[in-house]
A and B are shown apart, each in its own frame.
Chain A
Amino acid sequence: MGYLSLTHDQQALIYLLHAYTGTQTDGFLWVKELHLNALIYHLIKAGVFEEYDYAPSLVTFHGIKMYAKISQEVLWDLERFRRIGMVQKLKLSNKYYDDVGAYRLHNGISKISRFVSMDVMNTVEEEIGCGKERLTVLISEHPQRGRTVLDAYLRCPPEGMRKIDFFDIRRIAYSSKSYLPEVV
């Protein structure tokens, strides 16, 4: 399969997994699903992904349910890559009994340049590069007005951490009137 059969965004997604999981020589590295979604949200906003979109979806982390800006196209593509064996998904759990999914590029894909063009690699690398390391996402919880909420941070070791609005759902103005179905 040459890179021409993958769209720009699919190539960027594959390269992203390669960047975070494909370099370890001993053991296996996995990117956790929620963190990956947060990073992808940041990359969509940064213009790395051209067609992927995001919308509020309910997620669970540490037993806390919150809406986050999730790209369904990404999840769909990951599932497709998983079916053809390019991507592996690990199921693990944490002490809060959350089922956590984590992804990695299959070891069999040794030559990433067969799938991803140099342009895409450079575009992604430019955004996730962070000195000698790479940008990572940290998700933490904190109390806010009597409940515990989640925050996502981008961490770049030389620059420190900065919060992203991954969990801040846009409010829209609307008006409504009450309605009840007559059948009840």
Chain B
Amino acid sequence: MEAKSYIHLLGRTRILITEWLPFGENTILELSRKLETESGEGTHSILTEVIDPEPQEMIFRTDSIPTVIQVIRSEESRSIDFKCAVAYSETNADIQEEHFGVHVDNLGRIIYGLELLEAGGSRGRYSIDNVSSVIADLVHDSSKMLNTVISKYQKRLLELIYFNEPLHRDKFFLVFAEGMEPNMDDDSLMQFLQGVLELKQVLSSIKTVKTLEDGTLMILGAQGVIAVGENAFEYEQVLLTYAFMKSIENSLENALARLWRSWDMSEELKDSVFSKEGTNSLREINRRISELQSDVSIVTSVFRYIKDTLSSLSSVILELRGDSVYDLLGIDGRLEILRRRVEDAIPVAETLSREVEILVSVADTLLDNSIVKLMDAVEENTKRYVAIGEALELLEVGIFGVYAVELIHIALQYSGIEEDLMRFSFLGLSLAFWTILTIGLGGIIFAWYLLKLTKKRVMGEHGN
């Protein structure tokens, strides 16, 4: 059962969600190509993030048509506006008809926008709870949709700074409505405890509540802004700029979190490099260092992109000065803080990058040394195996000698020659004895000489 809602938004109600993602001119062109903007406005593109598992086959199968995109307008390498219809089963596609507009430009600004036609069975009067559900859906579905159009680099970047949870990244939102129930000014709203709690569910925490001269009520929260009044839509541009700055701030914070995590990882890896023994663990450490190096390089590029975006944003902001909400939102101060934070982050990231480079060379050297040691041990073992092999060969030759003696003995015995030889004696021993002894000793001496020669050659080849 849905909780009772105390606050309702009235009339035309629009939700805008913003986020920042590096979108250089090349990425915009790539996106244009993907959305076939050259085919003209109105062309529908159906996109899927599924990678074709059997490219050589003729037929491709999908379970549904999740994302349909229609280009509204595009400015070459600068911006693209498109409409989007999504149907994702995980966000109740069966009971929703979700259409939203998307603006992407080379500042990296992404705006998703929708106007509510109906929510929770009512039109023109939307409970804050229902609006909150729509925002949650739009945050998720816009991430999923964006995944079908962005480049591999952008996907990797999102995965990195949102710790492999890019679909659930937080975004800043703006809600515009023509009216609100109950109709209260800022003072009475702040005193209206239930109302404040309900708004907090949406905005996380409320920073400022202010009624402007034209009667527009502005509720600024940590995660979004609600603007209510007949003239609320007139503040769209300034609020979008504010929302964009909040989105940059959000990306910056996430990138910083990744940077600090990378610092920790570099410390852990440094300890591992000097404490671990064995080539296998060094190889594993080397692999992790390479991953860290790639992460640091991407995070550093994020800071540089943000720096460029902030520089470009300055000219946009100039046009907004004088707007009555401009000072309320503290745009100038916020921009300055953002600039300083990025300026501060870049050298930290660069230092880490150098640290990781040093770590790479240390690990490489240790791995090389370890391999040399391993090779020495292998060589030593090889020599031992050769010696053992030779001893075994000697034994085999000795055994062969014994068999040879036995064979001669049997041959002499069965040929009758033995008896002839037995007739002759030397030093009191039969000639048969001397024959067998001579052949036996001769064989052993020959085998000994042969092995000596082989060993000398083998050891000589190994440097001894």
Knowing that A91-B34, A99-B33 touch, tell me 4 more A-B residue pairs with CB under 8 angstroms: A28-B64, A39-B58, A82-B43, A91-B46
Centre residue among A20, A93, A97 by max chain B CB count within 10 A: A93
Interface residues of B: mostly helix, strand, loop or mixed?
A: mixed
**In whole angstroms, what is the CA distance A98 to B55 when docked?**
10
Place the interface of chain B in its size category. Answer: 20 to 34
Residues 1-48 (chain A) with a chain B CB within 8 angstroms: 20-21, 24, 26-32, 35-36, 39
State whether A61 and B55 are in contact (beta carbons under 8 Å apart), knowing that A28-B65, A82-B44, A99-B34 are contacts in the complex: yes
Shortest Cβ distance from A22 into chain B, in angstroms?
12
Q: Does B284 contact A (CB under 8 A)?
A: no
Partner of B59, one of A20, A26, A96, A139: A20
A148-B394 Cα distance, complex, nearest whole Å: 57
Smallest CB–CB gap between B224 and chain A, Å? 32
A29 pairs with B61, CB closer than 8 A:
yes
Answer whether residue B50 sits at the interface, using C-beta atoms and an 8 A cutoff.
yes
Tell me which of B45, B55, B62 contacts A28 (CB under 8 A).
Answer: B62
Contact across chains for A91 and B33 when beta carbons are under 8 A apart: no
4 tightest CB-CB pairs across the interface, nearest first? A35-B58, A94-B52, A30-B60, A90-B46
Q: Which of B44, B55, B56, B57 contacts A88, CB < 8 Å?
A: B44
Does A100 count as interface, using CB distance less than 8 angstroms? Answer: yes
A97 and B34 contact, CB distance less than 8 A: no
CA distance A26 to B62 in the complex (A): 9
Within 8 A of B (CB), among A105-150: 136-140
- Residues on A with beta carbons closer than 8 Å to the beta carbon of B56: 138-140
Q: A83-B42, A99-B33, A99-B34 are in contact. Are A90 and B60 (CB under 8 A)?
A: yes
Question: Which chain A residue lies CB-closest to B148?
Answer: A91
Could you jot down 16 A-B contacts, CB within 8 Å?
A28-B65, A31-B58, A31-B59, A31-B60, A36-B58, A62-B55, A82-B43, A88-B44, A90-B46, A90-B48, A91-B48, A92-B47, A94-B55, A95-B55, A136-B57, A136-B58
Contacts of A61 in B (CB 8 A): 55
> Which listed residue (A28, A35, A39, A98) contacts B61, Cβ 8 A?
A28
Bound CA–CA A90/B47 (angstroms): 6
Which residues of B lie under 8 Å from residue A28 when comparing CB positions?
61-65
